[in-house]
Each structure stands twice: as C-alpha cells, then as structure tokens.
Amino acid sequence: MKKLFFHVLFASIIMLLLSSCTEEQDFSQIDDLSVTPTLASGIFYLESDEETINSAGGFGTFYSQTINFDAFNETYVAERLLEGVIIYEIENTTSKRADIRIEFLDESGNPLYQEAFTVEANPSETFTREVTYGPGGLNLSILTNTSSLRVTGRNLGDATSVSSHPEPKISLSSAAEFIFRLK
C-alpha cells in the first residue's frame, strides 16, 4: 500500500511539474549590462631615515629609484580605463625640508608628467594629495602610456641637524583607484 501511495505521489508531482507555467528565459539582458569595476592598489612606498638624508649632504639626493609600472601595457586594459585617482601621503618627522618628485615615464624613458612635493621640516600632520585622471582631471593618456615611475628625494636642508623625534624619517606612500569598462 505504501508503495502504491509513493508511486501515485511521484506521478502527481511529475504531472504538476510538466504542466506548470514556465516563462521562456530572455538572456539578451547581457546587452544592456554595463560593468565598471573599481580596482584599488598600492603603487609604491618610500621611507628614508634622517641619518640617510644627512649622509647625502645639504641639497643632496638621498633617494632615487625607477620603478616598473606596466599596469596598462595591455591594450585591452588601457582602452577600457575610464578614470582614476592616485593618492599620495607624505609624513616628515625629520628636521629636513625635502623635495620629492615622481616622474611618469614612457617606454623610452621620456617624462610624460611629474608630481612635485616640497615637504616642510617637522610638519604637524600628514600631507595628502589626490590627483584625478579622466573626466575633470588630467589626461588618461598619462597613465596608459606610463611604463615606469622615477622617484627622487632631495634634501633641501643642512646635513647636520637632527630631529627631536625618536625615529625621524620621511615616508611617502601612494595608492590608486582605477575604474574600468569591461564591456
């Protein structure tokens, strides 16, 4: 009896499923879909202690490095970049005034753009600058044509003074957010 009941119940469920109302699926919605993800990433970090800055001498270069930046070397990626922002944060606890430059270089090493910061000695707070690329900002071609970044730090003070902070240093960090069109 139980077996007959389960067969009837199973047959009823199958009949209900077959006769239920279904709507034909419309997958053309993908044509209307616009996907624009935001990619956030750190770019570089520079840190130099006061002893290193003093060893470069007054008005000497205490830091110089070229950093590979092939974020947009794929044409597919470069063509889909809509906008971006690069955020720089500088903290200086040294007794030194400094000049920090970031040069955006193309594949041949030619400068496309430059960010320059003059950092005062012992400022009371962290300095932050946001640079926008795309609508309302700098030209996107600066980013899409950049192959490397050259970061240079120069001491604009003397070579003997010492800060009263326990671990005096200059630090520069940078991060970026880019918005892409995937379709």
Q: Where are the domains of the chain?
A: 34-180
Confidence grade of residue 161 (pLDDT, cut at 50, 70, 90)? confident
C-alpha 79/C-alpha 180 separation (Å) is: 9
Side chain identity at 178, as an amino acid letter?
F
Helix (H) or strand (E) holding 155: strand 148-155
pLDDT 10s digits, 53-97: 999 988 899 999 999 988 887 787 788 889 999 999 999 999 999
- The reported pTM is 0.78
What percentage of the chain has pLDDT greater than the value 70? 85
CATH code for the structural domain at 34-180: 2.60.120
